[in-house]
Amino acid sequence: MSDLTPHYNIEHYHFRQQWMLLGLPFDAVTLDQACDRVFEAIEKRQRCFISTPNLNFVINAKRDPEFAKSVFLSDLNLADGMPLVWAARWLKIPIPERVAGSSLFDELVKRSHPDKPVKVFFFGGDPGVAEKASIVLNNSSDAVVCCGYHDPGRGDVASMSTPDVIDKVNASNADFLVVSLGAKKGQAWIQHNLAQLNVPVVSHLGAVVNFVAGTVKRAPKIWQKLGLEWLWRIVEEPYLWKRYATDGLAALKMAGGVITQRFSRTSDANPKAECEAEFDNKIKVVLSGRPTERQLQSLYNALNVGLRTDEKTIQTIEILLDQADMNCPELQAFIQIIEATTEASGIYLTKQVL
Protein backbone atom coordinates (compact mmCIF):
# COMPACT_ATOMS: atom_id res chain seq x y z
CA MET A 1 0.00 0.00 0.00
CA SER A 2 1.07 3.57 -0.64
CA ASP A 3 2.44 5.59 2.28
CA LEU A 4 1.47 8.83 0.57
CA THR A 5 -1.30 11.13 1.71
CA PRO A 6 -4.52 9.17 1.02
CA HIS A 7 -6.10 10.56 -2.13
CA TYR A 8 -9.66 10.09 -0.91
CA ASN A 9 -9.22 11.36 2.65
CA ILE A 10 -11.62 14.29 2.85
CA GLU A 11 -9.27 16.06 5.27
CA HIS A 12 -6.88 16.52 2.34
CA TYR A 13 -9.48 17.20 -0.35
CA HIS A 14 -9.23 20.84 -1.37
CA PHE A 15 -12.13 22.74 -2.87
CA ARG A 16 -9.61 24.78 -4.79
CA GLN A 17 -10.08 27.92 -6.83
CA GLN A 18 -12.06 25.99 -9.41
CA TRP A 19 -14.65 27.10 -11.91
CA MET A 20 -17.31 25.07 -13.66
CA LEU A 21 -17.03 25.09 -17.43
CA LEU A 22 -19.11 22.90 -19.75
CA GLY A 23 -19.89 20.56 -16.88
CA LEU A 24 -16.33 20.01 -15.61
CA PRO A 25 -14.35 21.79 -12.88
CA PHE A 26 -11.14 23.56 -13.90
CA ASP A 27 -8.44 25.00 -11.66
CA ALA A 28 -7.77 28.67 -12.31
CA VAL A 29 -3.99 28.35 -12.56
CA THR A 30 -1.23 29.45 -14.92
CA LEU A 31 1.47 27.17 -16.27
CA ASP A 32 3.90 28.45 -13.64
CA GLN A 33 1.42 27.82 -10.84
CA ALA A 34 0.70 24.30 -12.07
CA CYS A 35 4.44 23.61 -12.21
CA ASP A 36 4.81 24.94 -8.66
CA ARG A 37 2.09 22.53 -7.53
CA VAL A 38 3.96 19.59 -9.07
CA PHE A 39 7.24 20.53 -7.41
CA GLU A 40 5.44 20.94 -4.09
CA ALA A 41 3.86 17.48 -4.39
CA ILE A 42 7.23 15.92 -5.21
CA GLU A 43 8.95 17.69 -2.33
CA LYS A 44 6.29 16.66 0.19
CA ARG A 45 5.69 13.22 -1.37
CA GLN A 46 2.03 14.18 -1.46
CA ARG A 47 -0.44 12.77 -3.93
CA CYS A 48 -1.22 14.93 -6.96
CA PHE A 49 -3.40 13.29 -9.60
CA ILE A 50 -3.49 15.69 -12.55
CA SER A 51 -6.16 15.64 -15.23
CA THR A 52 -5.81 17.70 -18.39
CA PRO A 53 -9.32 18.04 -19.82
CA ASN A 54 -9.60 19.19 -23.40
CA LEU A 55 -12.67 19.34 -25.63
CA ASN A 56 -12.58 15.56 -26.09
CA PHE A 57 -12.62 15.13 -22.29
CA VAL A 58 -15.68 17.38 -22.01
CA ILE A 59 -17.55 15.42 -24.67
CA ASN A 60 -16.70 12.01 -23.21
CA ALA A 61 -17.48 13.16 -19.67
CA LYS A 62 -21.06 13.93 -20.70
CA ARG A 63 -21.45 10.39 -22.01
CA ASP A 64 -19.51 8.47 -19.38
CA PRO A 65 -20.15 9.22 -15.67
CA GLU A 66 -17.12 7.19 -14.51
CA PHE A 67 -14.84 9.12 -16.84
CA ALA A 68 -16.30 12.39 -15.52
CA LYS A 69 -15.75 11.15 -11.98
CA SER A 70 -12.03 10.77 -12.66
CA VAL A 71 -11.90 14.50 -13.37
CA PHE A 72 -14.06 15.41 -10.38
CA LEU A 73 -11.70 13.52 -8.05
CA SER A 74 -8.45 14.79 -9.53
CA ASP A 75 -6.18 16.98 -7.44
CA LEU A 76 -5.46 19.42 -10.28
CA ASN A 77 -7.51 20.00 -13.44
CA LEU A 78 -5.84 21.94 -16.23
CA ALA A 79 -7.63 23.49 -19.20
CA ASP A 80 -5.78 21.80 -22.06
CA GLY A 81 -7.43 23.34 -25.08
CA MET A 82 -7.91 26.80 -26.56
CA PRO A 83 -11.65 26.20 -27.22
CA LEU A 84 -12.07 25.80 -23.46
CA VAL A 85 -10.17 29.02 -22.78
CA TRP A 86 -12.26 30.87 -25.38
CA ALA A 87 -15.48 29.54 -23.84
CA ALA A 88 -14.27 30.62 -20.39
CA ARG A 89 -13.53 34.13 -21.62
CA TRP A 90 -16.92 34.37 -23.30
CA LEU A 91 -18.62 33.34 -20.06
CA LYS A 92 -16.34 35.61 -18.00
CA ILE A 93 -14.90 32.65 -16.09
CA PRO A 94 -11.36 33.48 -14.88
CA ILE A 95 -9.38 30.61 -16.40
CA PRO A 96 -6.12 32.52 -17.00
CA GLU A 97 -4.62 30.50 -19.83
CA ARG A 98 -4.35 27.15 -21.52
CA VAL A 99 -2.12 24.75 -19.61
CA ALA A 100 -1.40 21.77 -21.85
CA GLY A 101 -0.02 18.61 -20.32
CA SER A 102 2.85 18.71 -22.81
CA SER A 103 3.64 22.29 -21.81
CA LEU A 104 3.64 21.30 -18.16
CA PHE A 105 6.14 18.53 -18.83
CA ASP A 106 8.36 20.85 -20.87
CA GLU A 107 8.26 23.44 -18.09
CA LEU A 108 9.28 20.82 -15.54
CA VAL A 109 12.29 19.99 -17.68
CA LYS A 110 13.24 23.68 -17.88
CA ARG A 111 12.82 24.39 -14.18
CA SER A 112 14.34 21.23 -12.73
CA HIS A 113 17.97 21.10 -11.61
CA PRO A 114 20.58 18.33 -11.98
CA ASP A 115 21.34 18.56 -8.26
CA LYS A 116 17.80 17.38 -7.58
CA PRO A 117 16.52 15.69 -10.74
CA VAL A 118 12.86 14.79 -11.23
CA LYS A 119 12.47 11.07 -11.86
CA VAL A 120 9.89 10.10 -14.49
CA PHE A 121 8.33 6.72 -15.30
CA PHE A 122 6.72 6.26 -18.74
CA PHE A 123 3.76 3.87 -18.78
CA GLY A 124 2.15 2.92 -22.10
CA GLY A 125 2.40 4.33 -25.58
CA ASP A 126 2.85 2.46 -28.83
CA PRO A 127 5.21 -0.54 -28.76
CA GLY A 128 8.80 0.58 -28.22
CA VAL A 129 7.97 4.27 -27.85
CA ALA A 130 8.32 4.42 -24.04
CA GLU A 131 11.74 2.79 -24.26
CA LYS A 132 12.80 5.25 -26.93
CA ALA A 133 11.47 8.18 -24.89
CA SER A 134 13.51 6.91 -21.93
CA ILE A 135 16.71 6.85 -23.98
CA VAL A 136 16.11 10.27 -25.55
CA LEU A 137 15.27 11.92 -22.22
CA ASN A 138 18.27 10.48 -20.41
CA ASN A 139 20.59 11.52 -23.24
CA SER A 140 19.26 15.07 -23.32
CA SER A 141 18.60 16.04 -19.71
CA ASP A 142 20.26 15.69 -16.33
CA ALA A 143 17.46 17.58 -14.58
CA VAL A 144 14.58 15.25 -15.54
CA VAL A 145 15.54 11.60 -15.92
CA CYS A 146 13.62 8.49 -16.83
CA CYS A 147 13.89 5.91 -14.05
CA GLY A 148 11.78 3.29 -15.79
CA TYR A 149 9.19 2.44 -18.42
CA HIS A 150 6.62 -0.23 -19.12
CA ASP A 151 4.65 -1.28 -22.20
CA PRO A 152 1.48 -2.99 -20.87
CA GLY A 153 0.25 -4.01 -24.31
CA ARG A 154 -3.34 -3.63 -25.48
CA GLY A 155 -5.26 -5.43 -22.76
CA ASP A 156 -7.93 -4.15 -20.42
CA VAL A 157 -7.36 -2.18 -17.21
CA ALA A 158 -7.30 -5.32 -15.06
CA SER A 159 -4.61 -7.02 -17.13
CA MET A 160 -2.49 -3.86 -16.90
CA SER A 161 -2.86 -3.71 -13.12
CA THR A 162 -1.29 -6.94 -11.87
CA PRO A 163 0.83 -6.82 -8.69
CA ASP A 164 4.00 -7.28 -10.76
CA VAL A 165 3.18 -4.21 -12.84
CA ILE A 166 2.42 -2.03 -9.82
CA ASP A 167 5.54 -3.31 -8.02
CA LYS A 168 7.65 -2.39 -11.04
CA VAL A 169 6.35 1.18 -11.02
CA ASN A 170 6.78 1.55 -7.26
CA ALA A 171 10.27 0.03 -7.27
CA SER A 172 11.43 2.75 -9.67
CA ASN A 173 10.99 5.37 -6.91
CA ALA A 174 9.62 7.75 -9.55
CA ASP A 175 8.44 11.28 -8.81
CA PHE A 176 6.15 11.56 -11.83
CA LEU A 177 4.23 8.74 -13.53
CA VAL A 178 3.34 9.66 -17.13
CA VAL A 179 0.56 7.40 -18.42
CA SER A 180 -0.21 7.00 -22.13
CA LEU A 181 -3.08 4.60 -22.79
CA GLY A 182 -5.70 6.78 -24.44
CA ALA A 183 -7.67 9.23 -22.30
CA LYS A 184 -10.54 7.00 -21.14
CA LYS A 185 -8.45 3.91 -20.44
CA GLY A 186 -5.66 6.00 -18.96
CA GLN A 187 -7.94 7.80 -16.52
CA ALA A 188 -9.58 4.49 -15.61
CA TRP A 189 -6.20 2.83 -15.02
CA ILE A 190 -5.08 5.65 -12.75
CA GLN A 191 -8.33 5.56 -10.78
CA HIS A 192 -8.05 1.78 -10.42
CA ASN A 193 -4.46 1.80 -9.16
CA LEU A 194 -3.94 5.16 -7.48
CA ALA A 195 -4.21 3.86 -3.92
CA GLN A 196 -1.49 1.25 -4.61
CA LEU A 197 0.99 3.62 -6.24
CA ASN A 198 3.86 5.25 -4.36
CA VAL A 199 4.46 7.88 -7.05
CA PRO A 200 3.38 11.35 -5.84
CA VAL A 201 2.50 12.90 -9.21
CA VAL A 202 0.41 10.89 -11.66
CA SER A 203 -1.14 12.06 -14.92
CA HIS A 204 -2.33 10.76 -18.25
CA LEU A 205 -0.29 12.76 -20.77
CA GLY A 206 -0.88 10.72 -23.89
CA ALA A 207 1.16 12.73 -26.37
CA VAL A 208 4.15 13.43 -24.10
CA VAL A 209 5.73 10.00 -24.61
CA ASN A 210 5.57 10.46 -28.39
CA PHE A 211 6.89 14.01 -28.21
CA VAL A 212 9.84 13.02 -26.00
CA ALA A 213 10.64 10.01 -28.18
CA GLY A 214 10.49 12.17 -31.30
CA THR A 215 8.01 9.89 -33.08
CA VAL A 216 5.57 12.80 -33.29
CA LYS A 217 6.41 16.50 -33.50
CA ARG A 218 4.45 19.02 -31.49
CA ALA A 219 2.79 21.94 -33.25
CA PRO A 220 4.72 25.24 -33.43
CA LYS A 221 3.86 27.83 -30.76
CA ILE A 222 1.87 30.01 -33.16
CA TRP A 223 -0.37 27.05 -34.09
CA GLN A 224 -0.95 26.37 -30.40
CA LYS A 225 -1.90 29.99 -29.66
CA LEU A 226 -4.30 30.09 -32.59
CA GLY A 227 -6.02 26.92 -31.41
CA LEU A 228 -4.87 24.97 -34.47
CA GLU A 229 -2.86 22.27 -32.73
CA TRP A 230 -5.61 19.80 -33.61
CA LEU A 231 -4.91 20.38 -37.32
CA TRP A 232 -1.19 19.81 -36.79
CA ARG A 233 -1.96 16.61 -34.89
CA ILE A 234 -4.01 15.32 -37.84
CA VAL A 235 -1.06 15.93 -40.15
CA GLU A 236 1.28 14.12 -37.76
CA GLU A 237 -1.20 11.38 -36.80
CA PRO A 238 -3.79 11.01 -39.61
CA TYR A 239 -5.83 8.41 -37.71
CA LEU A 240 -6.96 11.18 -35.35
CA TRP A 241 -9.12 12.85 -37.99
CA LYS A 242 -12.24 10.89 -37.02
CA ARG A 243 -11.93 11.94 -33.38
CA TYR A 244 -11.48 15.60 -34.27
CA ALA A 245 -14.36 15.50 -36.75
CA THR A 246 -16.66 14.05 -34.07
CA ASP A 247 -15.40 16.54 -31.51
CA GLY A 248 -15.93 19.40 -33.94
CA LEU A 249 -19.60 18.54 -34.46
CA ALA A 250 -20.14 18.22 -30.72
CA ALA A 251 -18.33 21.53 -30.19
CA LEU A 252 -20.74 23.32 -32.52
CA LYS A 253 -23.66 22.09 -30.42
CA MET A 254 -21.91 23.18 -27.23
CA ALA A 255 -21.18 26.59 -28.70
CA GLY A 256 -24.89 27.25 -28.96
CA GLY A 257 -25.28 26.40 -25.30
CA VAL A 258 -22.39 28.66 -24.32
CA ILE A 259 -23.88 31.59 -26.25
CA THR A 260 -27.28 30.99 -24.66
CA GLN A 261 -25.72 30.76 -21.20
CA ARG A 262 -23.96 34.10 -21.64
CA PHE A 263 -27.19 35.97 -22.34
CA SER A 264 -29.75 33.88 -20.47
CA ARG A 265 -31.48 35.25 -17.42
CA THR A 266 -31.99 33.20 -14.32
CA SER A 267 -35.43 31.68 -13.69
CA ASP A 268 -35.25 33.01 -10.12
CA ALA A 269 -34.81 36.65 -9.21
CA ASN A 270 -32.74 35.60 -6.23
CA PRO A 271 -30.58 32.60 -7.12
CA LYS A 272 -28.94 31.12 -4.06
CA ALA A 273 -25.96 28.92 -3.27
CA GLU A 274 -25.44 28.81 0.47
CA CYS A 275 -23.76 26.55 2.98
CA GLU A 276 -24.14 26.39 6.73
CA ALA A 277 -23.01 24.09 9.52
CA GLU A 278 -26.34 23.00 10.97
CA PHE A 279 -24.83 20.72 13.61
CA ASP A 280 -21.30 19.80 14.64
CA ASN A 281 -21.26 16.88 12.19
CA LYS A 282 -23.54 18.11 9.41
CA ILE A 283 -23.33 20.68 6.61
CA LYS A 284 -26.44 21.94 4.83
CA VAL A 285 -26.19 23.26 1.25
CA VAL A 286 -29.10 25.26 -0.18
CA LEU A 287 -29.35 25.74 -3.95
CA SER A 288 -32.08 27.71 -5.71
CA GLY A 289 -32.64 29.24 -9.11
CA ARG A 290 -29.56 29.36 -11.34
CA PRO A 291 -26.60 30.32 -9.11
CA THR A 292 -23.86 32.36 -10.70
CA GLU A 293 -20.31 31.08 -11.08
CA ARG A 294 -19.23 33.43 -8.29
CA GLN A 295 -21.90 32.06 -5.96
CA LEU A 296 -20.78 28.49 -6.65
CA GLN A 297 -17.17 29.55 -6.09
CA SER A 298 -18.12 31.03 -2.72
CA LEU A 299 -19.87 27.80 -1.89
CA TYR A 300 -16.69 25.83 -2.64
CA ASN A 301 -14.81 28.00 -0.16
CA ALA A 302 -17.51 27.61 2.50
CA LEU A 303 -17.48 23.83 2.07
CA ASN A 304 -13.72 23.81 2.31
CA VAL A 305 -13.86 25.63 5.64
CA GLY A 306 -16.63 23.40 6.94
CA LEU A 307 -14.94 20.15 5.95
CA ARG A 308 -11.53 21.11 7.26
CA THR A 309 -12.51 22.55 10.66
CA ASP A 310 -10.50 20.67 13.27
CA GLU A 311 -13.26 20.81 15.91
CA LYS A 312 -15.73 18.92 13.73
CA THR A 313 -15.99 15.55 12.08
CA ILE A 314 -18.44 16.04 9.24
CA GLN A 315 -20.56 12.94 8.72
CA THR A 316 -23.39 14.30 6.57
CA ILE A 317 -23.90 16.81 3.79
CA GLU A 318 -27.51 17.73 3.05
CA ILE A 319 -28.39 19.37 -0.27
CA LEU A 320 -31.69 21.25 -0.41
CA LEU A 321 -32.92 22.06 -3.93
CA ASP A 322 -35.28 25.02 -3.62
CA GLN A 323 -36.62 25.44 -7.18
CA ALA A 324 -33.07 25.05 -8.45
CA ASP A 325 -32.55 25.25 -12.20
CA MET A 326 -31.22 21.75 -12.84
CA ASN A 327 -30.72 22.56 -16.53
CA CYS A 328 -27.71 24.64 -15.47
CA PRO A 329 -24.61 22.55 -16.38
CA GLU A 330 -22.45 24.20 -13.71
CA LEU A 331 -25.02 23.33 -11.06
CA GLN A 332 -25.26 19.75 -12.32
CA ALA A 333 -21.51 19.36 -12.24
CA PHE A 334 -21.29 20.90 -8.76
CA ILE A 335 -23.73 18.33 -7.39
CA GLN A 336 -21.86 15.52 -9.16
CA ILE A 337 -18.62 16.63 -7.51
CA ILE A 338 -20.28 16.59 -4.09
CA GLU A 339 -21.65 13.10 -4.87
CA ALA A 340 -18.24 11.82 -5.95
CA THR A 341 -16.29 13.24 -3.03
CA THR A 342 -18.77 12.18 -0.36
CA GLU A 343 -18.95 8.65 -1.76
CA ALA A 344 -15.16 8.38 -1.83
CA SER A 345 -14.78 9.86 1.65
CA GLY A 346 -17.50 7.97 3.50
CA ILE A 347 -19.64 11.06 4.13
CA TYR A 348 -23.40 10.52 4.01
CA LEU A 349 -25.15 12.64 1.37
CA THR A 350 -28.83 13.46 1.28
CA LYS A 351 -30.75 15.46 -1.32
CA GLN A 352 -34.18 16.98 -0.86
CA VAL A 353 -36.34 18.87 -3.34
CA LEU A 354 -38.36 21.60 -1.64
Residue 336 belongs to a domain with what CATH number? 3.30.750.24
Element (H, E) at 289: strand 282-289
Residue type, 285: V
Provide the phi-psi class of 45: left if phi over 0, else alpha when psi is between -120 and 50, else beta. Answer: left
Does the residue 267 lie in any domain?
no
Question: Domain check: are 89 and 236 in the same one?
Answer: yes
Q: Which of 211, 229, 257 is the last residue of a domain?
A: 257
Mean pLDDT (whole number) for 258-263: 63
Does residue 240 sit in the same domain as residue 336?
no
For residues 191 and 81, membership in a common domain is answered with yes
Angle in degrees, 0-180, between the axes of helices 55-63 and 241-263, rounded to the nearest 10: 80
Lowest mean pLDDT among 66-70, 114-118, 125-129, 300-304: 300-304
Same domain? For 193 and 311 the reply is no
Helix crossing, 241-263 with 82-90: angle to 10°?
10
318 close to 284: Cβ distance less than 8 angstroms: yes
10: pLDDT strictly greater than 60: no
Give tens-digit pLDDT for 206-256. 889 998 988 877 777 787 777 777 677 777 777 776 776 776 676 666 666
Q: Is 255 exposed, middle or buried (0-12, 13-18, 19+ CB in 10 A)?
A: middle
- Please indicate, yes or no, if residue 63 is contained in any of the structural domains: yes
- For residue 151, give every residue at least 6 positions away whose Cβ sits within 8 Å of its Cβ, in sequence order, or none: 124, 125, 127, 128, 130, 131
Helix ranges (DSSP H) in 310-350: 329-345
Phi/psi of residue 72, nearest 5 degrees: -55, -35
pLDDT at residue 93, as a whole number = 81
Q: Which of 229, 257, 285 is the last residue of a domain?
A: 257
234 and 314 in a single domain? The answer is no
Residue 288 domain boundaries: 272-353
1 part of a folded domain: no
Q: With a cut of 90, say whether residue 94 has pLDDT above it.
A: no
The verdict on 250 and 285 lying in the same domain is no
Helices assigned H by DSSP within 23-64 = 31-44, 55-63
- Looking at the fold, whether 253 and 280 belong to one and the same domain comes out as no
The SS3 of residue 38 is helix
pLDDT digits (tens, 9 = 90+) for 304-353: 666 655 555 778 888 888 888 888 777 877 887 788 777 767 788 888 88
Question: Which DSSP symbol is given to 117?
Answer: P
* Sign of the dihedral through C-alpha 77, 81, 82, 87: negative
Do residues 105 and 191 both lie within one domain? yes
Does residue 42 register a pLDDT over 50? yes
Q: Taking Cα atoms as reference points, which of 227, 226, 203, 229 lies closest to residue 216?
A: 229
State the CATH number of the domain containing residue 98: 3.40.50.2300
Q: At 8, is the pLDDT very low, low, confident or very high (cuts 50, 70, 90)? A: very low
Domain match, 237 and 290 both: no
Instruction: Give phi and psi for 13, each to the nearest 5.
Output: -85, 120
Structural domains in the chain (count): 2
Whether residue 5 is contained in a domain is answered as no
> Beta strands 272-279 and 282-289: pairing type?
antiparallel
Same domain for 178 and 304? Answer: no
- What's the rounded Cα separation, in Å, for the pair 97 and 82? 8
Helix (H) or strand (E) holding 282: strand 282-289
d(CA 315, CA 195): 23
- Asked whether residue 22 is domain-assigned, the answer is yes
pLDDT (tens digit per residue) in 119-135: 999 999 889 999 999 99
Residue 192 and residue 294 in one domain: no
